[in-house]
A = this chain, B = another copy of it.
Amino acid sequence: MAGLDLNRKIIEETRVKRDQDHFSVLLHSFPSEIADRTEYLSGRIKTNPAFALCRVLAGLALCGATVAGIPCNTAHSPAIFEPLLKQIRKKRMKIRLLNMIEETGRFIHQEHPKLKRAGLLCTLGTYASGVYPKWFSKFDLAVILPPVQIRKAIHAAIYDNTYGIKAKPSPVTVRARQVFIRAVAELKKCGADGIILGCTEIPLALTEKKLFGLPLIDPTRILARSLIREIR
């Protein structure tokens, strides 16, 4: 569903009037072949999802894709993303993979210059990976994490079998949405002046542009814009 969300945002951010003026887009979704990224980072799964992601990128390249993005924040953790980039170079694949987290930092730097302390909503895997602090420091942006209990609640609102977005993505449950709203309120108390919807499932639940006066930054929409920029 996060892949569809990215594809929809590519269409929305392309201002044209006829079908034929839109960009070619290939969306490859192989959920059974790509192990859960958080499970890998926490050591419960042995095989790095980077290898399966690399096979998907190879298939996209085979069909003519020249630039690609992965609508999954956790997949951008250095332990997954760096081996993936290495494989792409090693196999001399003719496809350029954008880094959604780096693109998000650049976007905030350029479009929200007053935003300096980004509150982060994401999975436990992404929190543990430190991928946001890593890339955001390049753009002089602080990253604020909520207290650990709230992090666990956010993770559950994504993964829970009964009310999580992955199980109930369309429509999202009220319970999942409430968890994210409370987390934004808490991050505001912690001093955040903007919120990163740092799991590609979260924009499905929080569709507003601002909450409690803080801009909600959607890395999926930023990735869509960056893909359009690269294709142009």
Contact = CB atoms under 8 A, between A and B. Distances in A.
Given A24-B31, A26-B28, A8 B1 contact: yes
Contacts of A149: none
Interface SS of chain A: loop
A18 B31 CA distance: 9
Q: How large is the interface on A (under 10, 10 to 19, 20 to 34, 35 or more residues)?
A: 35 or more
Contacts of A167: 16-18
A86 to B, nearest CB: 23
Given A12-B170, A62-B62, A19 B4 contact: no
B21 A32 contact: yes
A4 to B, nearest CB: 5
A35 interface: yes
Interface string A32-76: 111110000000000000000000000100111000000000000
Contacts of A161: 17
A26 B24 contact: no
Interface in A200-220: none
Interface of A: 1, 4, 7-8, 11-12, 16-36, 59, 62-64, 161, 166-167, 169-170
